[in-house]
């Protein structure tokens, strides 16, 4: 190497210029840093999307459960109302099937005539 080239090299280094190897290393390090930043952004976006999907899934399941609970409550109230109606009808049936009520309806509403009951003699009485 000549003395002039040596002088230029020392002046470049003094002015802040680096050698080609150092420049290459700096560019490679810069590329690696850019890749790391890109990877950080991509991984952040991916994690955000996965988190959003998980929250969406949990919220949809919660809405589904809420809807099922609402339907269950409505069915329970309908069952209770039907049981009350059935109890009322059973009470009416028990009242209407009593012999005194049947006799009352036959005589007063249907205008039937009540005859004295027929007595069948038994052998033990001797009559």
The residues near 103 (Cβ < 8 Å, ≥ 6 apart) are: 114
- 4-59: pLDDT as tens digits: 777 777 766 666 555 677 788 888 999 999 999 999 999 999 999 999 999 999 99
125 occurs within a structural domain: no
Distances in Å between the Cα of 109 and the Cα atoms of 46, 47, 104 are 84, 83, 8
Mean pLDDT, all residues of the chain: 88
DSSP 110: S
CA atoms of 79 and 87, how far apart (whole Å): 12
What does the pLDDT read at residue 54?
98
126 occurs within a structural domain: no
Number of domains in the chain: 1
Report percent pLDDT > 70 for the chain.
89
99 occurs within a structural domain: yes
61 occurs within a structural domain: yes
124 occurs within a structural domain: no
Which domain, by its residues, includes 13? Answer: 3-116
9 occurs within a structural domain: yes
111 occurs within a structural domain: yes
On the question of pLDDT at 126 being above 60, the answer is no
127 occurs within a structural domain: no
Residue written as token pair 């049936």: 93
């Amino acid at each position: 190497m000549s003395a002039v080239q040596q002088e230029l090299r020392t002046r470049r280094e003094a002015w802040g210029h680096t050698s080609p190897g150092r420049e290459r290393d700096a560019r490679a390090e810069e590329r690696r840093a850019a890749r790391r930043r890109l990877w950080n952004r991509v991984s952040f976006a991916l994690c955000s999307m996965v988190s959003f999907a998980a929250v969406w899934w949990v919220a949809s399941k919660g809405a589904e459960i809420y809807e099922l609970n609402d339907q269950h409550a409505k069915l329970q109230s309908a069952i209770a109302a039907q049981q009350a109606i059935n109890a009322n009808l059973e009470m009416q049936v028990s009242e209407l099937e009593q012999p005194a009520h049947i006799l009352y309806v036959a005589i007063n509403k249907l205008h039937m005539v009540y005859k004295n009951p027929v007595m069948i003699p038994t052998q033990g009485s001797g009559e």
